[in-house]
Structure 1
Amino acid sequence: MTGDCHAGICGSPGVRFPRATRHCQDANRRASYEHTEFTFLGFTFRTRSAVRKDGRVFRSFLPAISGEALRRISSEVRTWRLHHRTSLTEAGLARFINPIIRGWMAYYGAFYQSALYPLLERVIAYVMRWMRKKFKRLRGRKKVQTAWNRAVARRPRFFAQWAWTTHAPRVW
């Protein structure tokens, strides 16, 4: 077992935690440290920009979704092959992806939500590709973009990711 951990958890077989105390260099620690970041439970803790109550930007040691977790989730989204599921209706597609997306948003979005935006925009890109394949009249980019904007305006909470971003990515 590595590091210190809660006594009740340490007795459990197979439970391993990294060393509890690790000092990392950030804006408040000017000295040189061995570590500038660490990853724990799918979050990377490192120095990031934050905004104070008065609107000024400062640097602080904050968690956000780790690059490894982001890659793992992105590969899972690719395996869904949403753009090939043209037999599903809009409601069926929403029933399929919403619970999963909401779970990721609740867990990884608890800290530094903007780190999740590229992932959510990737899901939006797949939904737009699905629209283009499902509805032949939306084959052109301008037509699907217009239909997308109408759908978002008509039902702003239909897909879970629309709660945070409805921005259509440039490449889809």
Structure 2
Amino acid sequence: MSGDVHVRICERLGVKLPRATRLICHCRTRQEAEELKSALERRFADCHLLLHPAKTKVVYCADSNRRRSYPHIHFDFLGFSFRPRMAKNRWGRIFTCFLPGVSPNSLKEMRARIRGWRLPQHSPLPLEDIARSLNPVLRGWDQYYGRFYPTELRRLYEYFDERLGAWLRCKYKQLKGHRGRSLRKLNEMAKQNPKLFVHWQKLGRATVG
């Protein structure tokens, strides 16, 4: 079917595809996309294989120049969610662009891992030891998911700093039961040592408080 449809295969996220079946095919029109999908389904059936029913779909890359109405205008791929997002051009004008950003499922998994660290239970440790232990993980997340639309990671940083606030409330008796006071204390610590955590290096402060 090499001559039937003009298709581009997208592998521009800077990583190798985990499996050959994880591909993004760009077509010029919806008709071409539907024809390609049908051709792939037939070819897979000939090989006694099946396209994943939930992950295989035709998506319209809506933006400021593509304003038609379609059933699907977003999809997830390699931990990113591709969808229309607000962006600003070099003249400061706001427009809509079809961009990747960390997906909600990826954020959920990362928050679950942060909960698994059980920071409040490690109150005897100094904050420097916690930073030394966790920064490699935070840096890995930032380097991968922060490459595209990094503002989406702010919710993750806020959650992590909330857990640090809980760590402070367990560590210091005068902060116990005082969420606002503990988060203000955390912000003071971040301003005094902005390079301690990966996300503090970017903001110069904690994301909460």
User: CA distance change for structure 1 residues 108 and 14 in 2, over 3 Å: closer, same or farther?
Assistant: closer
Which is worse superposed, 136-145 or 126-135?
136-145
User: Quick one: distance in 1 between partners of 2:164 and 2:97?
Assistant: 35
Give TM-score scaled by structure 1 length. Answer: 0.82
1:86 and 2:123 are equivalent in the alignment = yes
- Structure 2 unaligned residues grouped into runs of 5+: 1-6, 11-16, 27-57
Question: How far off its partner does 1:13 sit?
Answer: 9.9
Name the structure 1 match of 2:207.
167
CA distance in 2, matches of 1:119, 1:42: 14
CA distance in 1, matches of 2:199, 2:114: 13
Q: Which of the residues 114, 118, 122 maps onto 2:151?
A: 114
- Per the alignment, residue 18 of structure 1 pairs with 23
Asked if 2 retains the 8 angstrom alpha-carbon contact of 1:5 and 1:17, the reply is no
Residue correspondence of structure 1 range 1-172 to structure 2 within 5 A:
15-21=20-26, 24-27=60-63, 28-139=65-176, 140-141=178-179, 143-165=181-203, 166-168=206-208
Task: Report the structure number with the largest CA radius of gyration.
Answer: 2
The number of residue pairs the alignment matches comes to 162
Superposition deviation, residue 33 in structure 1: 3.5
Q: Which moved more, 1:45-54 or 1:138-147?
A: 138-147
SS of equivalent residue, structure 1 residue 17? coil
Amino acid at match of 1:167: T
Q: Could you tell me how far apart the structure 1 residues matched to 2:19 and 2:59 are?
A: 26
After superposition, the C-alpha distances for 1:146-166 in whole angstroms (9 at most, x for unaligned) are 422321221111111213442
Structure 1 gap segments, 5+ residues each: 7-11
> Does the 8 Å CA contact 2:162/2:183 hold for their aligned counterparts?
no
